Structure 1
Amino acid sequence: MLAFARTSKPLLGLIAALGMILGAALSATAAPARVVSLNVCTDQLAMLLAAPGQLISVSFLGQDARSSAMAEQAQAYPANHGLAEEVFLLQPDLVLAGTYTSRAAVSMLRRLGVEVVEFAPENGLNDVRVNLRAMGRVLGHPDRADALIAQFDADLAALTLPPKTRPRAALYGPNGYTTGAQTLAGEILTAAGFSNIATEAGLPAGGTLPLEQLVMLQPDLIITGTRYPGSSRAEALLDHPALRKLAAMPRVRATGGAWVCGTPHVLRAIDGLVALRHDMEAGQ
Protein backbone atom coordinates (compact mmCIF):
# COMPACT_ATOMS: atom_id res chain seq x y z
CA MET A 1 0.00 0.00 0.00
CA LEU A 2 2.85 2.36 0.83
CA ALA A 3 4.52 1.69 -2.52
CA PHE A 4 1.22 2.32 -4.31
CA ALA A 5 0.80 5.59 -2.43
CA ARG A 6 4.27 6.74 -3.51
CA THR A 7 3.59 6.07 -7.19
CA SER A 8 0.00 7.33 -7.17
CA LYS A 9 0.82 10.88 -6.08
CA PRO A 10 2.70 11.80 -9.28
CA LEU A 11 -0.02 10.06 -11.28
CA LEU A 12 -2.72 12.04 -9.51
CA GLY A 13 -0.78 15.23 -10.13
CA LEU A 14 -0.52 14.43 -13.83
CA ILE A 15 -4.26 13.71 -14.04
CA ALA A 16 -5.04 16.97 -12.28
CA ALA A 17 -2.76 18.91 -14.63
CA LEU A 18 -4.32 17.27 -17.68
CA GLY A 19 -7.77 18.10 -16.31
CA MET A 20 -6.83 21.75 -15.93
CA ILE A 21 -5.46 21.90 -19.48
CA LEU A 22 -8.55 20.19 -20.87
CA GLY A 23 -10.84 22.51 -18.89
CA ALA A 24 -9.02 25.58 -20.19
CA ALA A 25 -9.25 24.28 -23.75
CA LEU A 26 -12.96 23.61 -23.43
CA SER A 27 -13.49 27.07 -21.94
CA ALA A 28 -11.62 28.67 -24.82
CA THR A 29 -13.61 26.82 -27.47
CA ALA A 30 -16.88 27.60 -25.67
CA ALA A 31 -16.43 31.37 -26.12
CA PRO A 32 -18.83 32.60 -28.83
CA ALA A 33 -17.13 33.88 -31.98
CA ARG A 34 -19.99 35.90 -33.52
CA VAL A 35 -22.01 37.97 -31.06
CA VAL A 36 -24.87 40.32 -31.87
CA SER A 37 -26.38 42.73 -29.33
CA LEU A 38 -29.97 43.97 -29.64
CA ASN A 39 -30.09 46.22 -26.58
CA VAL A 40 -28.42 49.55 -25.86
CA CYS A 41 -27.19 48.33 -22.46
CA THR A 42 -25.90 44.95 -23.63
CA ASP A 43 -24.20 46.87 -26.47
CA GLN A 44 -22.07 48.71 -23.96
CA LEU A 45 -21.37 45.76 -21.70
CA ALA A 46 -20.27 43.74 -24.73
CA MET A 47 -18.10 46.53 -26.14
CA LEU A 48 -16.34 46.77 -22.78
CA LEU A 49 -15.63 43.04 -22.55
CA ALA A 50 -15.61 41.45 -26.02
CA ALA A 51 -12.40 40.38 -27.70
CA PRO A 52 -11.52 42.04 -31.03
CA GLY A 53 -13.81 40.71 -33.75
CA GLN A 54 -16.07 38.87 -31.31
CA LEU A 55 -18.89 41.45 -31.33
CA ILE A 56 -20.21 41.88 -34.87
CA SER A 57 -23.27 44.13 -34.47
CA VAL A 58 -24.85 46.49 -31.95
CA SER A 59 -28.31 48.06 -31.73
CA PHE A 60 -29.00 51.30 -33.57
CA LEU A 61 -29.70 52.95 -30.20
CA GLY A 62 -26.16 52.11 -29.16
CA GLN A 63 -24.97 54.69 -31.70
CA ASP A 64 -27.18 57.46 -30.25
CA ALA A 65 -25.41 59.63 -27.64
CA ARG A 66 -28.74 60.45 -26.00
CA SER A 67 -29.15 56.84 -24.94
CA SER A 68 -25.63 55.41 -24.98
CA ALA A 69 -22.49 56.44 -23.13
CA MET A 70 -20.44 54.65 -25.81
CA ALA A 71 -22.12 56.01 -28.93
CA GLU A 72 -18.80 56.97 -30.52
CA GLN A 73 -17.29 53.52 -30.01
CA ALA A 74 -20.49 51.93 -31.33
CA GLN A 75 -19.99 53.63 -34.69
CA ALA A 76 -17.29 51.03 -35.40
CA TYR A 77 -19.92 48.25 -35.51
CA PRO A 78 -22.72 47.58 -37.99
CA ALA A 79 -26.04 48.56 -36.44
CA ASN A 80 -29.14 46.37 -36.27
CA HIS A 81 -32.77 47.24 -35.57
CA GLY A 82 -33.55 44.14 -33.52
CA LEU A 83 -35.41 42.30 -36.27
CA ALA A 84 -35.09 38.53 -36.14
CA GLU A 85 -34.63 38.26 -39.91
CA GLU A 86 -31.69 40.68 -40.11
CA VAL A 87 -30.05 39.20 -37.02
CA PHE A 88 -30.36 35.62 -38.27
CA LEU A 89 -28.66 36.57 -41.56
CA LEU A 90 -25.62 37.71 -39.56
CA GLN A 91 -25.19 34.05 -38.50
CA PRO A 92 -24.51 34.76 -34.82
CA ASP A 93 -23.69 32.01 -32.37
CA LEU A 94 -24.86 34.24 -29.52
CA VAL A 95 -27.41 37.06 -29.32
CA LEU A 96 -27.51 39.46 -26.38
CA ALA A 97 -30.88 40.98 -25.46
CA GLY A 98 -32.62 42.81 -22.66
CA THR A 99 -35.62 41.35 -20.88
CA TYR A 100 -37.71 44.04 -22.62
CA THR A 101 -36.30 43.39 -26.08
CA SER A 102 -39.01 42.52 -28.62
CA ARG A 103 -40.45 39.19 -27.47
CA ALA A 104 -41.32 38.27 -31.05
CA ALA A 105 -37.70 38.68 -32.17
CA VAL A 106 -36.28 36.78 -29.20
CA SER A 107 -38.76 33.93 -29.63
CA MET A 108 -38.17 33.69 -33.37
CA LEU A 109 -34.38 33.56 -32.97
CA ARG A 110 -34.67 30.81 -30.37
CA ARG A 111 -36.98 28.82 -32.61
CA LEU A 112 -34.32 29.13 -35.32
CA GLY A 113 -31.77 27.59 -32.98
CA VAL A 114 -29.89 30.77 -32.08
CA GLU A 115 -28.78 31.09 -28.45
CA VAL A 116 -30.17 34.25 -26.84
CA VAL A 117 -29.04 35.47 -23.43
CA GLU A 118 -31.20 38.11 -21.78
CA PHE A 119 -30.04 40.73 -19.28
CA ALA A 120 -32.38 42.45 -16.82
CA PRO A 121 -32.29 46.25 -16.47
CA GLU A 122 -30.05 47.54 -13.73
CA ASN A 123 -31.97 48.86 -10.71
CA GLY A 124 -28.97 49.99 -8.69
CA LEU A 125 -25.20 50.34 -8.67
CA ASN A 126 -24.68 46.76 -7.51
CA ASP A 127 -26.34 45.58 -10.71
CA VAL A 128 -23.42 47.13 -12.59
CA ARG A 129 -21.23 44.47 -10.99
CA VAL A 130 -23.83 41.72 -11.50
CA ASN A 131 -24.24 42.34 -15.23
CA LEU A 132 -20.54 42.90 -15.88
CA ARG A 133 -19.85 39.54 -14.26
CA ALA A 134 -22.64 37.87 -16.24
CA MET A 135 -21.45 39.37 -19.52
CA GLY A 136 -17.90 38.26 -18.78
CA ARG A 137 -19.15 34.70 -18.36
CA VAL A 138 -21.21 34.51 -21.56
CA LEU A 139 -18.46 36.08 -23.66
CA GLY A 140 -15.80 33.87 -22.12
CA HIS A 141 -13.84 36.71 -20.47
CA PRO A 142 -14.53 36.56 -16.72
CA ASP A 143 -11.06 37.91 -15.97
CA ARG A 144 -11.78 41.09 -17.91
CA ALA A 145 -15.04 41.51 -16.02
CA ASP A 146 -13.30 41.07 -12.66
CA ALA A 147 -10.74 43.73 -13.60
CA LEU A 148 -13.46 46.19 -14.68
CA ILE A 149 -15.41 45.59 -11.48
CA ALA A 150 -12.32 46.20 -9.33
CA GLN A 151 -11.62 49.47 -11.18
CA PHE A 152 -15.27 50.49 -10.91
CA ASP A 153 -15.27 49.92 -7.15
CA ALA A 154 -12.07 51.90 -6.69
CA ASP A 155 -13.32 54.84 -8.78
CA LEU A 156 -16.72 54.80 -7.07
CA ALA A 157 -15.11 54.88 -3.63
CA ALA A 158 -13.01 57.88 -4.64
CA LEU A 159 -16.12 59.77 -5.81
CA THR A 160 -18.44 58.99 -2.92
CA LEU A 161 -16.74 60.74 -0.04
CA PRO A 162 -19.13 61.92 2.72
CA PRO A 163 -20.69 65.22 1.55
CA LYS A 164 -20.72 68.38 3.67
CA THR A 165 -24.39 68.81 2.91
CA ARG A 166 -27.00 66.83 0.99
CA PRO A 167 -28.91 69.21 -1.27
CA ARG A 168 -32.42 68.05 -2.11
CA ALA A 169 -32.87 67.09 -5.74
CA ALA A 170 -35.70 65.94 -7.98
CA LEU A 171 -35.36 63.64 -10.98
CA TYR A 172 -38.24 64.91 -13.07
CA GLY A 173 -39.32 63.67 -16.48
CA PRO A 174 -42.19 63.72 -18.99
CA ASN A 175 -45.69 63.53 -17.51
CA GLY A 176 -44.21 64.48 -14.15
CA TYR A 177 -42.58 61.09 -13.61
CA THR A 178 -39.98 61.11 -10.86
CA THR A 179 -37.36 58.46 -10.22
CA GLY A 180 -37.03 57.21 -6.66
CA ALA A 181 -34.04 56.26 -4.56
CA GLN A 182 -34.50 52.52 -5.25
CA THR A 183 -33.49 52.85 -8.91
CA LEU A 184 -30.24 53.20 -10.83
CA ALA A 185 -30.77 56.95 -11.36
CA GLY A 186 -31.75 57.32 -7.72
CA GLU A 187 -28.58 55.59 -6.55
CA ILE A 188 -26.50 57.78 -8.87
CA LEU A 189 -28.07 60.79 -7.16
CA THR A 190 -27.44 59.40 -3.66
CA ALA A 191 -23.84 58.43 -4.47
CA ALA A 192 -23.19 62.01 -5.61
CA GLY A 193 -24.26 63.35 -2.23
CA PHE A 194 -27.84 64.47 -2.93
CA SER A 195 -31.07 63.48 -1.23
CA ASN A 196 -34.00 62.50 -3.44
CA ILE A 197 -37.28 64.31 -2.85
CA ALA A 198 -39.14 61.30 -4.26
CA THR A 199 -38.50 59.70 -0.87
CA GLU A 200 -40.19 62.65 0.86
CA ALA A 201 -43.10 62.25 -1.54
CA GLY A 202 -43.45 58.56 -0.64
CA LEU A 203 -42.18 57.29 -4.00
CA PRO A 204 -39.08 55.17 -3.24
CA ALA A 205 -39.23 53.37 -6.59
CA GLY A 206 -40.57 56.34 -8.51
CA GLY A 207 -43.94 57.40 -9.86
CA THR A 208 -45.91 60.45 -10.94
CA LEU A 209 -45.20 63.59 -8.94
CA PRO A 210 -47.72 66.39 -9.64
CA LEU A 211 -46.14 69.73 -10.52
CA GLU A 212 -47.97 71.34 -7.59
CA GLN A 213 -46.35 68.92 -5.15
CA LEU A 214 -42.95 69.46 -6.73
CA VAL A 215 -43.32 73.23 -6.22
CA MET A 216 -44.34 72.73 -2.59
CA LEU A 217 -41.34 70.48 -1.92
CA GLN A 218 -38.98 73.24 -3.16
CA PRO A 219 -35.98 71.12 -4.27
CA ASP A 220 -32.56 72.71 -4.60
CA LEU A 221 -31.98 71.00 -7.94
CA ILE A 222 -34.17 69.61 -10.71
CA ILE A 223 -32.69 67.07 -13.11
CA THR A 224 -34.66 66.46 -16.27
CA GLY A 225 -34.27 63.92 -19.05
CA THR A 226 -32.59 64.62 -22.38
CA ARG A 227 -35.03 66.26 -24.77
CA TYR A 228 -35.65 64.78 -28.21
CA PRO A 229 -36.48 66.77 -31.37
CA GLY A 230 -40.11 67.52 -32.05
CA SER A 231 -42.88 68.19 -29.58
CA SER A 232 -44.61 65.97 -27.09
CA ARG A 233 -47.51 66.60 -24.74
CA ALA A 234 -45.72 64.44 -22.19
CA GLU A 235 -42.71 66.79 -22.26
CA ALA A 236 -44.78 70.00 -22.32
CA LEU A 237 -44.90 69.92 -18.51
CA LEU A 238 -41.13 70.47 -18.42
CA ASP A 239 -41.64 73.89 -20.04
CA HIS A 240 -44.18 75.05 -17.47
CA PRO A 241 -43.38 78.54 -16.09
CA ALA A 242 -43.65 77.26 -12.52
CA LEU A 243 -40.86 74.80 -13.20
CA ARG A 244 -38.63 77.49 -14.67
CA LYS A 245 -39.17 79.72 -11.65
CA LEU A 246 -38.67 76.92 -9.16
CA ALA A 247 -34.99 76.47 -9.95
CA ALA A 248 -32.69 78.84 -11.78
CA MET A 249 -31.68 77.44 -15.15
CA PRO A 250 -28.00 76.88 -14.19
CA ARG A 251 -29.27 74.41 -11.59
CA VAL A 252 -31.50 72.44 -13.94
CA ARG A 253 -29.51 69.69 -15.63
CA ALA A 254 -30.49 67.11 -18.23
CA THR A 255 -29.48 63.50 -17.92
CA GLY A 256 -27.78 61.73 -20.81
CA GLY A 257 -26.34 58.43 -21.98
CA ALA A 258 -24.28 57.93 -18.82
CA TRP A 259 -27.52 57.59 -16.80
CA VAL A 260 -29.33 55.07 -18.96
CA CYS A 261 -27.45 51.80 -18.46
CA GLY A 262 -25.71 50.13 -15.56
CA THR A 263 -22.12 50.23 -16.80
CA PRO A 264 -18.98 51.81 -15.32
CA HIS A 265 -19.91 54.93 -17.31
CA VAL A 266 -22.41 55.83 -14.57
CA LEU A 267 -19.31 57.19 -12.83
CA ARG A 268 -19.40 60.07 -15.32
CA ALA A 269 -22.89 60.96 -14.16
CA ILE A 270 -21.84 60.76 -10.50
CA ASP A 271 -18.71 62.83 -11.14
CA GLY A 272 -20.71 65.56 -12.88
CA LEU A 273 -23.18 65.73 -10.00
CA VAL A 274 -20.42 65.82 -7.39
CA ALA A 275 -18.86 68.81 -9.19
CA LEU A 276 -22.27 70.51 -9.34
CA ARG A 277 -22.85 69.88 -5.63
CA HIS A 278 -19.49 71.46 -4.82
CA ASP A 279 -20.47 74.52 -6.89
CA MET A 280 -23.79 74.75 -5.07
CA GLU A 281 -22.07 74.48 -1.69
CA ALA A 282 -19.55 77.16 -2.64
CA GLY A 283 -22.34 79.50 -3.70
CA GLN A 284 -24.22 79.26 -0.42
Structure 2
Amino acid sequence: MRAGAALLACLWLASCAAPPPPAGGGIVSMNPCADAMLLALVPPARIAAISHYSQRPDSTSIPLDVARRFRGTSGTAEEVIGMKPDLVIASSFTPPSTREAFARARLNALYLDIPASIDASKAQVTALAAAVGAPARGAALNARIDAAIAATGWRGPKASALLWIGGNLVNGSQTLLDDMMVRTGFANQAAHYGLAHTGQLPMEQVIADPPRVMLVPEGAGHDSDSRAAALRQRAIAETGLPVLQAQFPRHLVNCGGPVIPAAMTRLAALRRSVR
Protein backbone atom coordinates (compact mmCIF):
# COMPACT_ATOMS: atom_id res chain seq x y z
CA MET A 1 0.00 0.00 0.00
CA ARG A 2 2.81 2.43 0.89
CA ALA A 3 4.52 1.79 -2.44
CA GLY A 4 1.25 2.28 -4.33
CA ALA A 5 0.44 5.47 -2.44
CA ALA A 6 3.95 6.79 -3.02
CA LEU A 7 3.65 6.09 -6.75
CA LEU A 8 0.28 7.84 -6.93
CA ALA A 9 1.66 10.85 -5.04
CA CYS A 10 4.65 10.99 -7.36
CA LEU A 11 2.38 10.97 -10.41
CA TRP A 12 0.37 13.84 -8.99
CA LEU A 13 3.37 15.83 -7.84
CA ALA A 14 5.21 15.33 -11.11
CA SER A 15 2.32 16.92 -12.96
CA CYS A 16 1.61 19.64 -10.41
CA ALA A 17 4.36 22.19 -10.33
CA ALA A 18 2.54 25.33 -9.22
CA PRO A 19 1.23 27.09 -12.33
CA PRO A 20 0.52 30.81 -12.44
CA PRO A 21 -3.25 31.49 -12.50
CA PRO A 22 -4.24 32.07 -16.14
CA ALA A 23 -5.77 35.43 -17.03
CA GLY A 24 -8.27 33.63 -19.23
CA GLY A 25 -8.79 30.31 -20.90
CA GLY A 26 -7.75 26.98 -19.46
CA ILE A 27 -9.91 24.43 -17.68
CA VAL A 28 -12.04 25.22 -14.65
CA SER A 29 -13.26 22.26 -12.61
CA MET A 30 -16.16 22.51 -10.18
CA ASN A 31 -16.12 18.75 -9.63
CA PRO A 32 -13.67 17.28 -7.06
CA CYS A 33 -13.47 13.95 -8.88
CA ALA A 34 -12.71 15.75 -12.12
CA ASP A 35 -9.91 17.53 -10.24
CA ALA A 36 -8.22 14.21 -9.54
CA MET A 37 -8.62 13.03 -13.12
CA LEU A 38 -7.36 16.30 -14.60
CA LEU A 39 -4.09 16.04 -12.71
CA ALA A 40 -3.49 12.72 -14.45
CA LEU A 41 -4.58 13.95 -17.88
CA VAL A 42 -3.27 17.46 -18.53
CA PRO A 43 -0.27 19.65 -17.63
CA PRO A 44 -0.94 21.90 -14.62
CA ALA A 45 -0.64 25.04 -16.73
CA ARG A 46 -3.91 24.10 -18.46
CA ILE A 47 -5.83 24.04 -15.17
CA ALA A 48 -7.17 27.49 -14.34
CA ALA A 49 -8.96 26.40 -11.16
CA ILE A 50 -10.19 23.35 -9.26
CA SER A 51 -13.12 22.84 -6.92
CA HIS A 52 -12.93 24.07 -3.35
CA TYR A 53 -13.83 20.54 -2.21
CA SER A 54 -10.35 19.36 -3.19
CA GLN A 55 -8.83 21.87 -0.79
CA ARG A 56 -10.61 20.39 2.25
CA PRO A 57 -9.31 17.30 4.10
CA ASP A 58 -12.75 15.67 4.37
CA SER A 59 -13.59 15.84 0.67
CA THR A 60 -10.35 15.80 -1.29
CA SER A 61 -9.05 12.88 -3.33
CA ILE A 62 -5.69 14.49 -4.03
CA PRO A 63 -2.92 15.55 -1.65
CA LEU A 64 -3.84 18.83 0.00
CA ASP A 65 -0.44 20.37 -0.68
CA VAL A 66 -0.97 19.68 -4.38
CA ALA A 67 -4.56 20.96 -4.39
CA ARG A 68 -3.57 24.20 -2.71
CA ARG A 69 -1.18 25.07 -5.50
CA PHE A 70 -4.20 25.77 -7.67
CA ARG A 71 -6.85 28.42 -7.48
CA GLY A 72 -10.01 27.08 -5.84
CA THR A 73 -13.47 28.04 -7.02
CA SER A 74 -16.37 28.79 -4.70
CA GLY A 75 -18.70 27.21 -7.23
CA THR A 76 -20.70 30.26 -8.32
CA ALA A 77 -21.58 30.78 -11.96
CA GLU A 78 -20.45 34.40 -11.80
CA GLU A 79 -16.97 33.47 -10.64
CA VAL A 80 -16.50 30.79 -13.27
CA ILE A 81 -17.84 32.94 -16.12
CA GLY A 82 -15.52 35.74 -15.06
CA MET A 83 -12.53 33.43 -15.51
CA LYS A 84 -13.42 32.94 -19.21
CA PRO A 85 -12.32 29.29 -19.34
CA ASP A 86 -12.07 27.20 -22.47
CA LEU A 87 -13.80 24.32 -20.68
CA VAL A 88 -15.85 23.98 -17.49
CA ILE A 89 -16.20 20.60 -15.84
CA ALA A 90 -19.10 20.33 -13.43
CA SER A 91 -21.34 17.71 -11.85
CA SER A 92 -24.56 16.26 -13.25
CA PHE A 93 -26.41 17.73 -10.26
CA THR A 94 -25.34 21.29 -11.12
CA PRO A 95 -28.41 23.54 -10.66
CA PRO A 96 -30.34 24.39 -13.85
CA SER A 97 -29.80 28.10 -13.23
CA THR A 98 -26.02 27.60 -13.28
CA ARG A 99 -26.21 25.52 -16.45
CA GLU A 100 -28.32 28.22 -18.10
CA ALA A 101 -25.81 30.88 -17.07
CA PHE A 102 -22.97 28.90 -18.63
CA ALA A 103 -25.00 28.42 -21.80
CA ARG A 104 -25.79 32.14 -22.03
CA ALA A 105 -22.08 32.89 -21.59
CA ARG A 106 -21.37 30.37 -24.37
CA LEU A 107 -19.04 28.35 -22.17
CA ASN A 108 -18.11 24.84 -23.20
CA ALA A 109 -19.25 22.70 -20.26
CA LEU A 110 -18.98 18.99 -19.48
CA TYR A 111 -21.24 17.56 -16.78
CA LEU A 112 -20.07 14.35 -15.10
CA ASP A 113 -22.28 12.03 -13.08
CA ILE A 114 -21.28 9.83 -10.13
CA PRO A 115 -20.02 6.52 -11.53
CA ALA A 116 -21.61 3.48 -9.88
CA SER A 117 -18.97 0.96 -10.97
CA ILE A 118 -15.37 0.64 -12.08
CA ASP A 119 -16.48 0.28 -15.69
CA ALA A 120 -18.52 3.48 -15.41
CA SER A 121 -15.54 5.29 -13.90
CA LYS A 122 -13.31 4.13 -16.75
CA ALA A 123 -15.88 5.39 -19.25
CA GLN A 124 -15.81 8.74 -17.47
CA VAL A 125 -12.02 8.86 -17.73
CA THR A 126 -12.32 8.22 -21.47
CA ALA A 127 -14.95 10.96 -21.88
CA LEU A 128 -12.96 13.54 -19.94
CA ALA A 129 -9.73 12.63 -21.73
CA ALA A 130 -11.48 13.17 -25.06
CA ALA A 131 -12.86 16.52 -23.89
CA VAL A 132 -9.40 17.81 -22.92
CA GLY A 133 -7.66 16.34 -25.97
CA ALA A 134 -5.68 13.71 -24.08
CA PRO A 135 -7.03 10.31 -25.21
CA ALA A 136 -3.65 8.59 -24.83
CA ARG A 137 -3.34 9.70 -21.20
CA GLY A 138 -6.89 8.53 -20.58
CA ALA A 139 -6.07 5.13 -22.02
CA ALA A 140 -2.94 4.95 -19.85
CA LEU A 141 -4.93 5.79 -16.72
CA ASN A 142 -7.49 3.11 -17.54
CA ALA A 143 -4.65 0.64 -18.11
CA ARG A 144 -3.41 1.37 -14.56
CA ILE A 145 -6.93 0.71 -13.27
CA ASP A 146 -7.05 -2.60 -15.17
CA ALA A 147 -3.69 -3.57 -13.72
CA ALA A 148 -4.98 -2.86 -10.20
CA ILE A 149 -8.04 -5.03 -10.84
CA ALA A 150 -5.85 -7.89 -12.03
CA ALA A 151 -3.52 -7.55 -9.04
CA THR A 152 -6.19 -7.35 -6.34
CA GLY A 153 -8.93 -9.69 -7.57
CA TRP A 154 -10.17 -12.15 -4.93
CA ARG A 155 -11.23 -15.71 -5.74
CA GLY A 156 -11.93 -17.15 -2.29
CA PRO A 157 -14.85 -16.76 0.11
CA LYS A 158 -15.94 -13.23 0.84
CA ALA A 159 -15.87 -11.55 4.25
CA SER A 160 -18.87 -9.39 5.20
CA ALA A 161 -17.90 -5.77 5.73
CA LEU A 162 -19.33 -2.33 6.36
CA LEU A 163 -17.51 0.70 5.00
CA TRP A 164 -18.29 3.83 7.00
CA ILE A 165 -17.89 7.09 5.10
CA GLY A 166 -18.25 9.41 8.06
CA GLY A 167 -20.39 9.72 11.16
CA ASN A 168 -23.18 7.14 10.77
CA LEU A 169 -23.10 7.31 6.96
CA VAL A 170 -22.31 3.98 5.35
CA ASN A 171 -21.66 2.84 1.79
CA GLY A 172 -24.43 0.68 0.31
CA SER A 173 -24.95 -1.20 -2.93
CA GLN A 174 -24.89 0.20 -6.48
CA THR A 175 -21.80 2.32 -5.83
CA LEU A 176 -18.22 2.39 -7.03
CA LEU A 177 -17.03 1.49 -3.53
CA ASP A 178 -19.37 -1.49 -3.49
CA ASP A 179 -17.91 -2.71 -6.78
CA MET A 180 -14.37 -2.37 -5.42
CA MET A 181 -15.28 -4.11 -2.16
CA VAL A 182 -16.81 -7.09 -3.96
CA ARG A 183 -13.89 -7.44 -6.38
CA THR A 184 -11.37 -7.46 -3.51
CA GLY A 185 -13.12 -10.12 -1.46
CA PHE A 186 -15.74 -8.38 0.67
CA ALA A 187 -19.49 -8.85 0.80
CA ASN A 188 -21.06 -5.47 1.47
CA GLN A 189 -23.10 -5.87 4.65
CA ALA A 190 -25.02 -2.67 3.92
CA ALA A 191 -26.31 -4.28 0.73
CA HIS A 192 -27.32 -7.28 2.85
CA TYR A 193 -29.33 -4.87 5.01
CA GLY A 194 -31.02 -3.59 1.84
CA LEU A 195 -29.27 -0.21 1.73
CA ALA A 196 -28.62 1.18 -1.76
CA HIS A 197 -26.14 3.97 -2.51
CA THR A 198 -25.30 5.67 0.83
CA GLY A 199 -27.34 6.24 3.95
CA GLN A 200 -27.47 6.45 7.71
CA LEU A 201 -27.25 3.16 9.57
CA PRO A 202 -28.30 2.76 13.22
CA MET A 203 -25.87 0.94 15.45
CA GLU A 204 -28.70 -1.28 16.74
CA GLN A 205 -28.98 -2.91 13.32
CA VAL A 206 -25.25 -3.51 13.19
CA ILE A 207 -25.29 -5.17 16.62
CA ALA A 208 -28.26 -7.35 15.70
CA ASP A 209 -26.63 -8.57 12.46
CA PRO A 210 -22.93 -7.68 12.59
CA PRO A 211 -20.39 -7.85 9.76
CA ARG A 212 -17.04 -9.57 10.10
CA VAL A 213 -15.19 -6.33 9.34
CA MET A 214 -15.93 -2.64 9.85
CA LEU A 215 -13.88 -0.27 7.73
CA VAL A 216 -13.78 3.06 9.52
CA PRO A 217 -12.64 6.48 8.27
CA GLU A 218 -9.02 7.43 8.68
CA GLY A 219 -8.18 11.10 8.69
CA ALA A 220 -11.77 12.33 8.38
CA GLY A 221 -11.16 15.34 10.58
CA HIS A 222 -14.66 15.84 12.04
CA ASP A 223 -15.68 15.59 15.70
CA SER A 224 -18.89 13.83 14.64
CA ASP A 225 -16.84 11.12 12.92
CA SER A 226 -14.73 10.62 16.03
CA ARG A 227 -17.79 10.40 18.27
CA ALA A 228 -19.52 7.92 15.98
CA ALA A 229 -16.39 5.77 15.74
CA ALA A 230 -15.97 5.81 19.53
CA LEU A 231 -19.58 4.73 20.06
CA ARG A 232 -19.20 1.87 17.58
CA GLN A 233 -16.01 0.72 19.23
CA ARG A 234 -17.63 0.84 22.67
CA ALA A 235 -20.68 -1.09 21.46
CA ILE A 236 -18.51 -3.80 19.94
CA ALA A 237 -16.41 -4.09 23.09
CA GLU A 238 -19.43 -4.27 25.43
CA THR A 239 -21.29 -6.85 23.34
CA GLY A 240 -18.22 -8.96 22.62
CA LEU A 241 -18.99 -9.11 18.90
CA PRO A 242 -16.23 -10.74 16.80
CA VAL A 243 -15.92 -7.70 14.55
CA LEU A 244 -12.57 -6.60 13.21
CA GLN A 245 -12.18 -2.82 12.86
CA ALA A 246 -9.71 -1.47 10.33
CA GLN A 247 -8.98 2.00 9.03
CA PHE A 248 -9.73 2.99 5.45
CA PRO A 249 -8.32 6.37 4.36
CA ARG A 250 -10.96 9.04 3.87
CA HIS A 251 -9.37 10.34 0.66
CA LEU A 252 -9.95 6.95 -0.99
CA VAL A 253 -13.71 7.14 -0.44
CA ASN A 254 -14.66 10.14 -2.54
CA CYS A 255 -13.81 9.40 -6.18
CA GLY A 256 -12.84 6.96 -8.89
CA GLY A 257 -10.42 7.35 -11.77
CA PRO A 258 -6.85 7.60 -10.45
CA VAL A 259 -8.07 6.85 -6.92
CA ILE A 260 -9.18 3.32 -7.84
CA PRO A 261 -5.74 1.60 -7.85
CA ALA A 262 -4.85 2.89 -4.36
CA ALA A 263 -8.32 2.09 -2.99
CA MET A 264 -8.29 -1.45 -4.34
CA THR A 265 -4.76 -2.05 -3.06
CA ARG A 266 -5.83 -0.99 0.43
CA LEU A 267 -9.01 -3.08 0.33
CA ALA A 268 -7.11 -6.14 -0.89
CA ALA A 269 -4.55 -5.77 1.92
CA LEU A 270 -7.36 -5.53 4.48
CA ARG A 271 -9.05 -8.62 3.05
CA ARG A 272 -5.84 -10.62 3.32
CA SER A 273 -5.62 -9.68 7.00
CA VAL A 274 -9.01 -11.24 7.76
CA ARG A 275 -9.00 -14.82 8.99
TM-score by shorter chain over 0.5: yes
Cα distance in 2, alignment partners of residues 170 and 93 from structure 1: 42
Decide whether the 8 Å contact of 2:91 with 2:113 is kept in 1: yes
**Amino acid in the other structure paired with 1:150:** A
Cα distance in 2, alignment partners of residues 204 and 42 from structure 1: 24
Aligned partner (choices 122, 131, 156) of residue 124 of structure 2: 131
| 1:187 corresponding residue in structure 2 | 179
Q: TM-score, normalised by structure 2?
A: 0.78
Stretches of structure 1 that go unaligned for 5 or more consecutive residues are 1-31
Aligned partner (choices 160, 165, 170) of residue 168 of structure 1: 160
| 1:215 corresponding residue in structure 2 | 207
Give runs of aligned pairs for residues 43-82 of structure 1, distance below 5 A: 43-71=35-63, 72-82=65-75
SS at match of 1:128: helix
Give the 3 Å change call, closer, same or farther, for CA 35–244 of structure 1 in structure 2: farther
Q: CA RMSD in A?
A: 2.8
**Amino acid in the other structure paired with 1:135:** L
Residue 101 in structure 1 maps to residue 94 in structure 2: yes
Decide whether the 8 Å contact of 2:35 with 2:54 is kept in 1: yes
Mean CA deviation greater in 117-126 or 82-91: 82-91
The structural deviation recorded for 1:176 is: 3.9
**Amino acid in the other structure paired with 1:45:** M
Residue 261 in structure 1 maps to residue 252 in structure 2: no
Stretches of structure 2 that go unaligned for 5 or more consecutive residues are 1-23
Give the 3 Å change call, closer, same or farther, for CA 254–114 of structure 1 in structure 2: same
Cα distance in 2, alignment partners of residues 153 and 113 from structure 1: 37
Cα distance in 1, alignment partners of residues 211 and 127 from structure 2: 38
Higher relative contact order (CA 8 A, sep 6+): 2
| 2:270 corresponding residue in structure 1 | 276
Larger of the two Rg values belongs to structure: 1
Aligned partner (choices 134, 143, 152) of residue 145 of structure 2: 152
Cα distance in 1, alignment partners of residues 34 and 165 from structure 2: 24
Aligned partner (choices 97, 105, 108) of residue 112 of structure 1: 105
Decide whether the 8 Å contact of 1:124 with 1:183 is kept in 2: yes
Give the 3 Å change call, closer, same or farther, for CA 63–230 of structure 1 in structure 2: closer
Mean CA deviation greater in 91-100 or 198-207: 198-207
The structural deviation recorded for 1:214 is: 0.9
Q: TM-score, normalised by structure 1?
A: 0.76
Q: Deviations over 1:73-103 (max 9, x none)?
A: 3233211111222222221121100112354
Decide whether the 8 Å contact of 1:222 with 1:247 is kept in 2: no
Residue 239 in structure 1 maps to residue 218 in structure 2: no
Q: Percent identity?
A: 25
